[in-house]
Structure 1
């Protein structure tokens, strides 16, 4: 997702001497298992800004890339039981509004009007953004690549990255691959959950850990429809993502899953997910799971991406570790890096995402609006 966005935005600005290296087929990795949420409700300025700046692109995706994308603005609704958490989300909402995000703080009854049938007696409140929504990650990759390749960007699939080509001083002069060397003045590691392993091939440590994340598709149920918001019960992390056909995607109780390179469905968690859903959404008791799948999220210790230059190797950059937010932030990330390289500075402050922040012995800002 990130690599193809970078390639697209470079080509859109007229810089087309770009090669995308993919060890398999484009879009078949973590992207293929993402659920496609797009939300602006975050606690940190940079995470809010990256999605806010991405929204116009998602809305005009076909006009920009030439290929369709169905961005459904069904809204995001966060349900909050803990008064302290509600106070934190109210503070988040003030920051979000200051950055141009239209967010509402609701009482429990107002939340139930948006998603009928939720249990409200133990809710403290809710927050809601009507302009947020979801889209297909696979279609997004196809659009990024289609637009970039029409402009002359090269895609090398089934090509494995083997290491850097450097000069005597350590500066990057290209990449070694299973299909031969590629000369380049700049190499970007956008390897998602595999970022740490790719970093080792370059001689640097990229503190990104892969974590399995699972989701489940359900049968149709009366009352479910695609205009309902994606709703998250923050007490448990359980979410319901209604689909146009009256079905839903559910999940969200596996944030504590240990790091692993293998993404498999942990069916032992289904009972606890069902209990969480039954408690908060009693009207959905008739839902039945028809299939489950799992992918890998690329997590960092502060739930922020790692974006910027690797100073040990001039010409080496990283754009990884998006902690589950890479799809929604990808337009702004691609645009920011393209501007940074071609004009000398990004359009927003990306300092909080600098690769060196974990080695600077400073306490990084934590993203707290996560589930």
Structure 2
């Protein structure tokens, strides 16, 4: 992995969502003082605003597990670190499995997760029903469950990162478009062009979420990240729902139910097959099949009422892993994007890792699996714990 440390010049973060603001916060927290965040609109109003806030460690690959596990302490101590409040509810994640092959995969995943320090259990159907009362078990083979997993507000996360960053001198330029790079004779970054003028820069990191491919083209680089619309729906209160229940995913359908404290829930997960698009719109035709999938697995949700729906864009890669690291062809240009729905939950560890990498020459964990060049090399490892 390439060694690259900062020499005191300006770091420009392109994108003011949860990844970009985390990077700025963590670099500023370590004493670096020349940091500018460019946001074409307002921080946190893009993909982050539409995220549902899940935080889990149950992944199938080492790098995804480690990023999530390393982020957990930050979520627990968010206010101490940033000075802003955060309601991180550790209600747990429960994956419900009715297919033998899927169960085999999730059992192997759990072994890897435990080897990396994650407290995860493989449950039989009755144990799954004990964790989430009312689950249909007659066609269930098993489940995996981690009580440490949970959820929080992505909007609060951005607000906290910004508050902590502002106290350390980070500059945020709102309503400012990134227009491209200024490079020297060797092709290395020297400045950025913006709608408000040119800024000198030693290092530029593209954290532009679903728009990162377009932003990369402005730099002469193809970043293989495609936007995919995903949607979620809110329900009216039901007596069977309460905030102590885990976020539960029926892996057969991909449908999930995310109970909230008020007895309502966020539901979704049956639209992973939606084609790539840069436009997100609620597809109300999916509500009927979603409700059917949920009431099959959770019969007590029969009669659930959807009160509203919303849609956002997920920044997806071919292997459901992010791209984090340098662009080898353009010295000084980096990418932190393509998180495939996992950016919010992994943002603390990503910000920490990049800050350490730039200041010491190496990240605190092996990020080689997230290198941009893996797509050209065709050395992809698929993340299987997705829905």
TM range (shorter): over 0.9
Distance 2:193 2:175 in 1: 14
Deviations 1:254-287 (A, max 9, x none): 0000000001001111111111012111101121
Distance 1:5 1:358 in 2: 26
* Aligned partner (choices 56, 73, 79) of residue 39 of structure 1: 56
May I ask how many residue pairs the two structures share in their alignment? 370
* Aligned partner (choices 364, 367, 373) of residue 356 of structure 1: 373
Distance 1:360 1:243 in 2: 43
Q: TM-score, normalised by structure 1?
A: 0.99
* Aligned partner (choices 8, 11, 36) of residue 19 of structure 1: 36
* Secondary structure class of the residue paired with 1:3: helix
The corresponding residue for 1:167 is: 184
In the TM superposition, 1:208-287 aligns within 5 A as 208-287=225-304
Distance 2:333 2:239 in 1: 53
Structure 1: 5+ residue runs without aligned partners?
Answer: none
Distance 2:77 2:158 in 1: 15
**Residue 206 of structure 2 corresponds to residue 189 of structure 1:** yes
- Report deviation, 1:351: 0.2
In the TM superposition, 1:52-131 aligns within 5 A as 52-131=69-148
Distance 1:318 1:9 in 2: 16
Q: Hey, which bits of structure 1, 4+ residues long, moved more than 6 A? A: none
Q: Work out whether residues 83 and 124 of structure 1, in 8 Å CA contact, stay in contact via their aligned partners in 2.
A: yes
Q: Work out whether residues 21 and 157 of structure 1, in 8 Å CA contact, stay in contact via their aligned partners in 2.
A: yes
* Secondary structure class of the residue paired with 2:165: helix
* Aligned partner (choices 68, 81, 94) of residue 51 of structure 1: 68
The corresponding residue for 2:325 is: 308
- Report deviation, 1:24: 0.1
Deviations 1:110-148 (A, max 9, x none): 101111111110011000000000000000000001100
**Residue 360 of structure 2 corresponds to residue 331 of structure 1:** no
Distance 1:228 1:271 in 2: 24
The corresponding residue for 2:315 is: 298
The corresponding residue for 2:381 is: 365
Distance 1:220 1:299 in 2: 32
Q: Work out whether residues 4 and 20 of structure 1, in 8 Å CA contact, stay in contact via their aligned partners in 2.
A: yes
* Secondary structure class of the residue paired with 2:373: helix
Q: Work out whether residues 196 and 205 of structure 1, in 8 Å CA contact, stay in contact via their aligned partners in 2.
A: yes
Q: Work out whether residues 221 and 286 of structure 1, in 8 Å CA contact, stay in contact via their aligned partners in 2.
A: no
Distance 1:223 1:324 in 2: 28
Distance 2:193 2:377 in 1: 30
Q: TM-score, normalised by structure 2?
A: 0.95
Structure 2: 5+ residue runs without aligned partners?
Answer: 1-17
Further displaced range: 264-273 or 54-63: 264-273
Distance 2:233 2:134 in 1: 21
Distance 1:64 1:278 in 2: 41
Further displaced range: 244-253 or 353-362: 353-362
